[in-house]
Structure 1
Amino acid sequence: MKVYWSSIFLLPSEVIKECERMMRRFMWGGNGNSFKQSLVKWSKVCLPWQGGGLGIKPMKAWNQALLLKQIWNLLTDHSLWVQWCKLKLIRKHSFWKTPSTGPLSWSWRQILLL
């Protein structure tokens, strides 16, 4: 579910903090709801294997990467969704010159700001 929502919306920082809190609790406590003292800092756990961590990606970086994939799809794909976006949202501009103001949804504005 995290991957789905992260690929569509730029998640608010409070949501990211809460999700990472549940992941930490699950890792150290078992079910995600119970509280147990962490044995290692979360920033250390998120380091790559070579750096001594477990290779878990920080959720903010994961969220931005998935949204950037949407931009890549807009620039390279020819699916029905991309055609609709070009027709309704990008219109006569190139993607890089599309204004991020006006009557746009919050999600689309955040993608443009990335």
Structure 2
Amino acid sequence: MAMHLLSVLNIPKAVRHKINYMLSSFFWGASEGHCKRKWSSWDHLCKPTREGGLSLRNSLKVQRAFHMKFAWLLLSGYSLWINFFRAKYVKKGHVVLASNNSSRF
């Protein structure tokens, strides 16, 4: 799955857990019916290499980071897209009061 999809889609938590499960199964060599021994936790493998991990990406944390980046741009950015988004979805000048009537956002 391309990481940029996590920035624009709100993927359900169960799907993100399934993605992490498939990635960890690939890494640990699990196959149908039986699992191999897990020598390290998935959270440990997602740590940076200088901390002893393998710098793998956890889809839960990546999507949260993309959403926070978008929120920061919404609060502080001044691009055409941000201005459009503010005009269409943000009511009374505050992000928390944004309407949720759209099926896309």
TM-score greater than 0.5 by the shorter chain: yes
Q: For the structure 1 residues 80 and 99, does the alpha-carbon distance in structure 2 shift closer, same or farther, using more than 3 Å as the test?
A: same
Shift of 1:101: 5.9
Determine if contact 2:91/2:97 at 8 Å carries over to the other structure: no
Q: In 2, Cα distance between the equivalents of 1:42 and 1:62?
A: 14
Q: In 1, Cα distance between the equivalents of 2:19 and 2:12?
A: 11
Determine if contact 2:45/2:56 at 8 Å carries over to the other structure: yes
Shift of 1:17: 1.1
Considering only aligned residues, what root-mean-square deviation do their CA atoms show, in Å? 2.5
State the secondary structure of the residue aligned to 2:54.
coil
Q: In 1, Cα distance between the equivalents of 2:86 and 2:98?
A: 15
TM-score (norm 1): 0.69
Shift of 1:21: 1.3
Unaligned runs of 5+ in 2: none
**1:73 pairs with 2:73:** yes
* Larger helix percent: 1
Determine if contact 1:10/1:64 at 8 Å carries over to the other structure: no
Q: Which residue of 2 is the match for residue 47 of structure 1?
A: 47
Q: In 2, Cα distance between the equivalents of 1:94 and 1:100?
A: 7
Shift of 1:100: 5.4
Q: Which residue of 2 is the match for residue 92 of structure 1?
A: 92
TM-score (norm 2): 0.74
* Correspondence list, 1:55-70, <5 A: 55-70=55-70
Query: What percentage of aligned pairs have identical amino acids?
Result: 25
Q: In 2, Cα distance between the equivalents of 1:46 and 1:102?
A: 34
Unaligned runs of 5+ in 1: 109-114
Q: Which residue of 2 is the match for residue 112 of structure 1?
A: none
Determine if contact 2:91/2:98 at 8 Å carries over to the other structure: no
Q: Which has the higher contact order (CA 8 A, sep 6+)?
A: 1
* Correspondence list, 1:25-40, <5 A: 25-29=25-29, 34-35=31-32, 36-37=35-36, 38-40=38-40
